Amino acid sequence: MTMLARGSGVTIWRQIAEDLEADIAQGRFAPGSRLPTEAELAGRFGVNRHTLRRAIEALAERGLVRAVQGSGTFVETAPLAYPVGPRTRFSETIIGQAREPGGVLVEARTIGATADVADALKLAPSAPVLNLVTVLTVDGVPVSWGDIHVDGARYGELGTHYRALGSLTAAWTACGVTDYRRAWTRIGAGLADGRDAAMLQRAERRPVLIVDSLNVDAEGAPLQWTRSHMAADRMRLIVSTD
Amino acid sequence: MTMLARGSGVTIWRQIAEDLEADIAQGRFAPGSRLPTEAELAGRFGVNRHTLRRAIEALAERGLVRAVQGSGTFVETAPLAYPVGPRTRFSETIIGQAREPGGVLVEARTIGATADVADALKLAPSAPVLNLVTVLTVDGVPVSWGDIHVDGARYGELGTHYRALGSLTAAWTACGVTDYRRAWTRIGAGLADGRDAAMLQRAERRPVLIVDSLNVDAEGAPLQWTRSHMAADRMRLIVSTD
DNA sequence: CCCTATTTGTGCGTATGTATC
DNA sequence: AGATACATACGCACAAATAGG
């Protein structure tokens, strides 16, 4: 730990933030590990806990650490690679990287198709559509949430199956769809709003990847239109074009 | 124009912003067109120019309009679709959408390969690398800037050719590389920093797509490693997996 | 190339409402 | 109730960038 230079023109919290950042960059605080408590760090630097919190806040804002109330402050891990391919499955991909995937169904309801959805799924305007809201986690950390839309008339039971099985692939199988593939993916970016912040346990205004996609069955008929919001500092998309 | 409700609990600038947004959504202000001047709009709404500017600022923050000093405030156009495929070329894609592509070489220098670059290009660490910084525009509006790295020993003239020809594909041809393709693409997101803001003529903290990619020649040998920063509200990536 | 009008950007001062301690 | 801080709104003036003659 370097000396703090009071009155040097650089605020104390900034010096501390840079110090901690160097510690993280050089692996003295490992990715995924918990930082010492705020009280301990404040003691170490010889500053008030408020000052230290300001430093932590700056690091969290840049996505280097994540503060969890009641638990601690954790060093963020390197972003996960998520391939975009015709047959990529979330669970398989995550397991292949020796991590533990998870999925939670947050909401399930039937709504009328909006223009976008009706167009993608080739349904009549305002036809019944099953809307599932899910959160995907890796090692318990939310990485993405999705707004899933399927034909309500044909696949109204998808939500029930998903809730029981915890995997979308399995839920589709239970609905009699044994195979599906990704037809197209549209990738944009935006800033996390209140909902993103809540679903991804992330601060507002952090960058999110906004990914629209269409899955089709073996015959090419549209099955599922999804808009996913991915925490950009936890996930990165990989496209192979060989 | 709806009446402004002073003291209604909603600030005036917010009401104005919502009013203008509705005008844009319903096409009363066309994409790409210039809004009335601040003075005129302030007069129309019967408010101070500062108040109106606050409303414009809110719209600009959401990417709906773009203010240019000395020129005016313009309605942003819908994001451009940019395919990610083995043989997509910027110029061809843009022309195919009936828009006008442009490219400017901002900087050209030779540096030592960093670990990332050496790895991607299969060069020795700190081998000479030609680094080109370019800005791509559509209809004169910057949509992306890129940090291009190529083997300095073999393709040191690429920068000269690019500057003369204005197109990377043409510059490669001049270097004797008649064909190349995209091997892989990694897509993340971040917030615009000072450099992004300057290069993309965009405010800081706006969302940017950060795209790393590798181009290879016909034999699959690495040619060009690029990190592009794309203005997310002007461009969106499309991946087809058929 | 210069000059000028137009348009957005910035600063300072003042007054007022609102939330917080 | 009082004190304080902060965002809102207005007015005026000037700086900086752009466009056109």
Per residue in A9-32, pLDDT (tens digit) is: 667 877 888 888 888 888 888 888
Sorted by sequence, the CB contacts under 8 Å of residue A96 that are 6+ apart come out as: none
pLDDT band at A132 (very low <50, low <70, confident <90, very high): very high
Measured between alpha carbons, how far is residue A172 from residues A100, A118, A128, A165, B180 in Å? 21, 20, 18, 10, 40
Q: Are A180 and A218 in contact (CB under 8 A)?
A: yes
The Cα of A192 is separated from the nearest Cα of chain B by a number of Å equal to 10
Q: How confident is the model at residue B57 (pLDDT cuts 50, 70, 90)?
A: very high
Q: What is the pLDDT of residue B71?
A: 93
pLDDT of residue A10: 66
The structure's pTM equals 0.86
Name the residue facing B79 among A81, A188, A206 (closest C-beta).
A188
What's the mean pLDDT in A132-146? 95
Comparing C-alpha atoms, which of A185, A194, A195 is closest to residue A227? A185
**Mean pLDDT over residues A220-240, rounded?**
96
Interface-testing mutation among A64, A185, A187, with chain B (most B C-beta atoms within 10 A)? A187
Q: State the alpha helices, DSSP H only, in B76-151.
A: 90-96, 115-121
Q: What sign does the CA torsion over B7, B9, B13, B15 have?
A: negative
The answer to whether B133 touches B99, Cβ cutoff 8 Å, is: no
Say if residue A156's pLDDT is above 80.
Answer: yes
Q: Which residue of B has its CA nearest to A188?
A: B236
* CB atoms near residue A218 (< 10 Å): 11
Q: Would the CB atoms of A232 and B189 count as touching at under 8 Å? A: yes
Query: Whole-number Å distance, CA A144 to C1' D14?
Result: 49
Beta-carbon separation of A207 and B205 below 8 A: no
Mutate to test the interface with B, among A87, A230, A241 (most CBs of B within 10 A): A241
Cross-chain CB nearest to A187 (options B86, B191, B236): B236
Report which of residues A54 and B66 the model is more confident about: B66
Answer yes or no: are the C-beta atoms of B42 and B81 closer than 8 Å. no
Q: How far apart are alpha carbons A70 and A52 in whole angstroms? A: 17
Q: Look up the protein residue whose alpha carbon has the minimum distance to the C1' of C5.
A: B70
Looking at chain A, the whole-number percentage of residues with pLDDT higher than 70 is 96
Q: Which of the four pLDDT bands, split at 50, 70 and 90, describes residue B3?
A: low
Distance of alpha carbon A54 from alpha carbon A12, whole angstroms: 9
What is the DSSP code (8-state) at residue A215? E
In this complex, which residue's CA is closest to the C1' atom of nucleotide C6? B70
Query: B67, B24 in Cβ contact below 8 A?
Result: no
- Would you say residue A161 has pLDDT above 90? yes
Assess contact for B123 and B149: CB atoms under 8 A. Answer: no
End-to-end CA distance of chain A: 48
pLDDT for A78-99, tens place per residue? Answer: 889 999 999 999 999 999 999 9
Beta bridge pairs of residue B226: B148, B213
B136 or A46: which leads in pLDDT? B136
- Hey, are the CB atoms on A185 and B209 less than 8 Å from each other? no
Contacts of B208 in chain A (CB under 8 A): 189, 207
pLDDT at B215 (0 to 100): 97
How high is the pLDDT of residue A189? 96
Quick one: pLDDT band at residue B79, thresholds 50, 70, 90? very high
Q: How long a stretch of residues is chain A?
A: 242
> φ and ψ at B197, to 5 degrees?
-60, -45
B223-232 mean pLDDT: 96
| Predicted pLDDT of residue A32 | 80
For residues B132 and B227, the answer to whether their CB atoms sit within 8 Å is no
Q: Is residue A180 within a helix (H) or strand (E), and if so which, with residue range?
A: strand A180-191
Q: How many CA atoms lie within 13 A of B221 on its CB side?
A: 7
User: Which residues from A are below 8 Å from B when comparing CB atoms?
Assistant: 79, 81, 84-86, 181-191, 205-209, 232, 236-242
User: What does the pLDDT average to over B207-227?
Assistant: 96
**Closest approach of B181 to chain A, Cα-based (Å):** 8
- Per the prediction, chain B carries an average pLDDT of 92
Query: pLDDT at position A183, please?
Result: 96
Virtual CA dihedral for B139, B141, B142, B143, nearest 10 degrees? -70
Is the pLDDT reported for residue A148 higher than 80? yes
Beta bridge partners of B217: B180
